Amino acid sequence: MSTNPFAIPVKALMNKPGMSETLEKDVAAPTHYGEAVCVVREGEPLHLSLMLESVHEGILVSGTITTDAHADCVRCLEPTTIPISANIQELFAYLADDSYDYEVVQDEIDLDQVVRDQVVVELPFQPVCSSDCPGLDPETGEKRDAESAAADTTAIDPRWTKLQDVFPENSPGGESGYPHI
């Protein structure tokens, strides 16, 4: 029996097509997952909710992995925790074959690489603390609140002020109803 927490004994299911069992397991991430702005830290709990099914070729594993990832919001730079839920469906073959990526070894399946691959795919490229995060003020660098973010929409970039002479109806307070330049 292996000391690997991702090693699952499957001897009771082997070569018995049609048999299945459910597995609920909590495992600590052995290393950090992810390299960019969002990572699952080493030791972070991973909850595995799986169905192990015996089929003719091997053991089919399907289910979900849930955990929390940690990142800095790309808008306001505040630390945030992001819930991650990844689906898994992988066949562990009885016989080593180029057709299959994983195999049953000594009556066990090792979910370590499968779990890592599925969790990393679900990590967001641009994590945000909330979908309506107003971000940072471009002039002061301070975190904005909702009111200050709304007030900034009326400010005009100084590079565009000459257009007010050409299109006065579009300038702030103009009568056209068109959006401000």
Q: Is 171 within 8 Å of 181 (Cβ atoms)?
A: yes
Look at residue 91 in the predicted model and tell me its pLDDT: 93
**Domain ranges across the chain:** 7-122, 137-181
Q: Write out pLDDT tens, residues 146-162.
A: 665 555 555 677 787 78
Q: Write out pLDDT tens, residues 95-123.
A: 877 777 888 888 999 999 999 999 999 99
Mean of all residue pLDDT scores within the chain? 85
Look at residue 181 in the predicted model and tell me its pLDDT: 47
Residue 3 one-letter amino acid: T
Q: Write out pLDDT tens, residues 31-84.
A: 989 887 899 999 999 999 999 999 998 999 999 999 999 999 999 999 999 999
Question: Residues in the chain, how many?
Answer: 181
Q: Is 98 within 8 Å of 109 (Cβ atoms)?
A: no
Question: How many CB atoms neighbour CB 4 within 10 A?
Answer: 13
DSSP class per residue in 13-75: TTT-TT-EEEEEEEEE-SS-B-SSSEEBPTT-EEEEEEEEEE-SSEEEEEEEEEEEEEEE-TT
Q: With 70 as the cut, is the pLDDT of residue 1 above it?
A: no
Strands 45-54, 7-9: pairing is unpaired
